[in-house]
Amino acid sequence: GENVEQHPSTLSVQEGDSAVIKCTYSDSASNYFPWYKQELGKRPQLIIDIRSNVGEKKDQRIAVTLNKTAKHFSLHITETQPEDSAVYFCAASKVRAGGTSYGKLTFGQGTILTVHP
């Protein structure tokens, strides 16, 4: 089955700095890669996702890049703010050619991001 490795496990940055979290996956058939933010005691919230037909996607201060050959993808947060502090999870899934999803998300272990004011 799919295996997703995520690094680093903890990341501490100063407000305004950039943060980068990296994930690798094992199943070359995976083609959908979402990122979730989870604040303490809260539900995981989808913040950005990318599909394998795209190499990069950006949404304001966050961006995700995908390298299918190397089977890794990364989350980039620029101009970090204290409210970005949370646990971030990457995940991988397979989507059928017809557009419906196998659905099963395999998650990484999570990265605790702390942004110091």
Site string for other proteins, 17-56 (x = CB under 8 A): ---------------x-x-x-----xxxxx--x-x-----
| Binding span for other proteins by CB under 8 A among 14-22, 59-67, 72-80, 93-101 | 93-101
Per residue, the 3-state secondary structure of the chain, as one string, reads CCCEEEECCEEEEECCCCEEEEEEECCCCCCEEEEEEECCCCCCEEEEEEECCCCEEEECCEEEEEECCCCEEEEEECCCCHHHCEEEEEEEECECCCCCECCCCEECCCEEEEEEC
Number of residues that bind other proteins (CB under 8 A): 28
Q: Does 108 bind other proteins (CB under 8 A)?
A: yes
Give ∠ CA 37-27-101 in degrees, rounded to 5.
65
| Binding span for other proteins by CB under 8 A among 11-19, 62-70, 77-85, 99-107 | 99-107
Q: Does 64 bind other proteins (CB under 8 A)?
A: no
Residues in touch with other proteins (CB under 8 A)? 4, 6, 32, 34, 36, 42-46, 49, 51, 89, 91, 93, 95, 99-110
